[in-house]
Structure 1
Amino acid sequence: METRSNHVLVGAVAIALFIAAFLFILWIARVDTSDRQKYDIFFRSVSGLARGSAVNYSGVPVGTVQEIRLMPETPNFVRVRIEIDEGVPILQGTVATIASVGFTGVSIVELEGAIKGAPAIDEPGPYGAPVIPTKPGALGQLLDSAPQLLERISTLTARLNEVLSPQNQDSIAGILKNTNTITAAVASRDGDIAEAVTEIRATIAETRKTAAALAVLADSTSKLVDAEGKPLVADLRKTLQHADTALSELEATSRAARTGAEAFNAHTLPEVNLLVGDLREMSRSLGAIAAKLDEDPAGALVGGRKLPEYKPDGDRNR
C-alpha cells in the first residue's frame, strides 16, 4: 500500500515538474499567438531568411517569421507569413524589406514608412491575412542590377584592352618620355622661372599702385568738376542765351535789309539806269562840241553854224 502511494506521489511530482518546465519554456519563448497579428509579405527572393527570423520595425524587434512558402501559381514570388506583437502600428504606407545582419548572411524583415494618421492595413489578402507591400532593399537592388553591372564591367574591360594595345602602349611610352624631357627642361630653367615669377609679382605691385593713383585722380577730377564745372556750365548757358538773342536780332536785321534791297531793285535801280543813259548822251554831245571846236574854233564861237540843241531824255518825252 505504501509502495503504491510512493509511486503515485513520484508520478504526480514528475508531471508537475513537466508542466512547470513546459510553461517556463512557453514563457521564455513568449509564445502567445492570441495577442499577435498575422501579415503576409510577397518577396521575389528571400536569401538568408528562415523561420524564426526577426521582424524589426524601424530597428525595434516586433515579431518573427512564422512561415515561408513558394507559390506554385506565381513562382516568381515567395510568400512570407509574419507575426507581429499587438499594438504595433501597421498603417498605410508601411513597406517591408529584407535586410542583412552584418556579414553572417542572416537576414531579417525590416518594416518602415508608416504615415501618421493613416488607416491600418487590415484588409484580408488572398491567404486570409493582410498584405504588407514590399520595397527592394539595398541587397535586392544590388542583385537586380548585377547583370547590368557585369555587362558594363565587361564593356569597360574590352575598351581598356583596346586602349592598352601594343601600338597605344608605344604611344603612351613616347608621351611619358616627352613628358620627362619637358620636366627636365623646366627643372633646368628653375632660376629663370623664379626670376620671371619675381618680375610678375613686381609688375602686379606696380599695377596696384597705378590703380590706386588712378582712383585718387578720378576722385580729384570728380571734385574739380563739382567745384568749377557747375559755374562754367552756368556761364556757358548764359552765353548761349545771349548768342540766341543776337541771332534773333541778326535775323530781324536780315529781313529788314532784304525788304530794303527789294525796294531798291524795284524803284531806285530803274532811275539810276535812266540817269546813266542821260549821262552817256551828254557825254556824246560834249564830244561833238569838242570836235567842232577843233575843226572851226572861230565859226563855233561867232555862230557860223548853229549847234544842235541838246535836250535831255526827259524833255524829249514831253
Structure 2
Amino acid sequence: METRSNHVLVGAVVLILLAMLALFTVWIARLGGTAEKEYDIFFRQSVDGLARGSQVTYSGVPSGQVKSIALWKNDPQYVRVRISVNDDTPVLDGTTATVIGSFTGTSTVSLDGARKGARPITCPEPPNPNVCPYGVPVIPTKQGGIGAILNSAPQLLERLSTLTERLTGLLTDRNQASIAGILDNTNRLTDALADRGPEIAATLAQTRIAIQQAGEASKQIGDLAQTTNGLLANDVQPTIQNLNGAIASAQQSAETLNAAVNDARPGLQAFSKQTMPEANRLIRDLRTTAAALSAVAEKVDQQGASSLIGAQKLPDYKGK
C-alpha cells in the first residue's frame, strides 16, 4: 500500500516538473523571439496554393506566416486570411496585400506599398465592426499579375472566340479571292513603278527645278511689291493731294452755283407765271396773222390785185 502511494507521489511530482519545464521553455522562447502582430486580409479571388503556415513577405523580405484561412461568413465571395507578422514590419497606410503564386503550386502573401511618414494600420477607438470585424486591423488587397490574368481569363477567352469568329467570317473564299486580286494588282503596280523609275526621277528633278524657279519668282514679286510701295509713297501721294484740292474747289463751285440758283429762283418763278403765258398768246396771234397773210397772198396770185378792191366777177351766161 505504501509502495503504491509512493509511485503516485513520484508520478505527480514528475508531471509537475514536466509542466514547469514546458512553461519555462515557452517563456524562454518568447524572450528569445520577437513580438508579432496579427492582421486580417479579405481576398475576393482564388487563393489556390495558400495554406496555414504559408509565408508572408514584405517587399520580398520574409516577415511572417499565415495563421488561418476561411470563407467569410458575411459574404462567401471573400476569403478571410489571418496573418501574423513581425512587430517591426512597417504595415502602414497604403500597404496592400497580394497573393503571389508559383509554378511549384505554393503561394505566398506579399505586402508592399507603404509610404514614408504614413500612420500604422490600426483599429479605431472605440472599436468599429465595419472596419475591424474580427478585432484586428484589415489590410486592403490588390490583384497580382497571375491573379489578374486568372480573373480576366474568361473575358480573354470570350474575346478570343469573338475574334476567331470574325476572322472566320472575313476569310471566306470570296474575300480570299479579293485579297489575292489586291495583292496581284499591288505587285503589278510595284513592277510598273520600278519600270518607270527613271521617268519618276526625271519628273522629281523637274519638279525641284520648278519649285526653285517659283521661289525666285516669289522673291522678284516681293521686290516688285516693295518698289511699287515706294512709287506709291513718292508719286501717288502728291497726285492724291492735288485731286483732293480739285474736289474741294469743285465743291466750293457747286455751293456758289446753288446760292446763285437760290437767288434767281424768284425771277424764274415770275417769268414762268407771267411772261410765258403772254409769250404764248403773242405766238398764237402771230400764227393767226401769218395765216391771214398767206390767204391774201394766195388770193392775189389767183385773181390778181383787183380782187383786193372789187367784188369777184361772175362768169358770163350763155343760153342754149
> TM class, shorter-chain normalised?
0.5 to 0.7
Letter in 1 for 2:269: E
Tell me what 1:53 maps to: 55
Tell me what 2:188 maps to: 181
Residue 212 (structure 1) aligned with residue 241 (structure 2): no
Question: Structure 1 stretches of 5 or more lacking a match?
Answer: 1-21, 300-318
Deviations 1:213-251 (A, max 9, x none): 222222222233333343333332222211211111222
8 Å Cα contact 1:90-1:121 kept in structure 2: no
Residue 261 (structure 1) aligned with residue 268 (structure 2): yes
Deviations 1:70-101 (A, max 9, x none): 22634432222222333555444443223457
8 Å Cα contact 1:94-1:113 kept in structure 2: yes
Tell me what 2:136 maps to: 129
Tell me what 2:162 maps to: 155
Distance 1:258 1:198, change over 3 A: same
Q: Secondary structure at the match of 2:140?
A: coil
CA deviation after TM superposition for structure 1 residue 166, in Å: 2.7
Tell me what 2:87 maps to: 86
CA deviation after TM superposition for structure 1 residue 259, in Å: 3.1
CA deviation after TM superposition for structure 1 residue 147, in Å: 0.6
Deviations 1:119-156 (A, max 9, x none): 74224633332111212233322222111111111111
Tell me what 1:42 maps to: 42
Tell me what 2:15 maps to: none
1:57-72 equivalent positions in 2, closer than 5 A: 59=59, 61=61, 63-71=63-71
CA RMSD of aligned residues (A): 4.0
1:186-201 equivalent positions in 2, closer than 5 A: 186-201=193-208
CA deviation after TM superposition for structure 1 residue 208, in Å: 1.3
Distance 1:242 1:113, change over 3 A: farther
Letter in 1 for 2:83: I
> Greater CA deviation, 265-274 or 126-135?
265-274
Distance of 2:289 and 2:162 partners within structure 1: 128
Q: Secondary structure at the match of 2:98?
A: strand
Q: Secondary structure at the match of 1:64?
A: strand
8 Å Cα contact 1:71-1:77 kept in structure 2: yes
Identity %: 36
Q: What's the TM-score, normalizing by structure 1?
A: 0.68
Distance 1:272 1:173, change over 3 A: closer
Distance 1:296 1:91, change over 3 A: closer
Distance 1:94 1:255, change over 3 A: same
Residue 239 (structure 1) aligned with residue 241 (structure 2): no
Letter in 2 for 1:46: V
Size of the aligned set, in residue pairs, is 270
Distance of 2:169 and 2:283 partners within structure 1: 117
8 Å Cα contact 2:64-2:86 kept in structure 1: no
8 Å Cα contact 1:97-1:135 kept in structure 2: yes
Tell me what 1:6 maps to: none
Question: Structure 2 stretches of 5 or more lacking a match?
Answer: 1-24, 310-320
Q: What's the TM-score, normalizing by structure 2?
A: 0.68
Letter in 2 for 1:121: T
CA deviation after TM superposition for structure 1 residue 37, in Å: 1.8
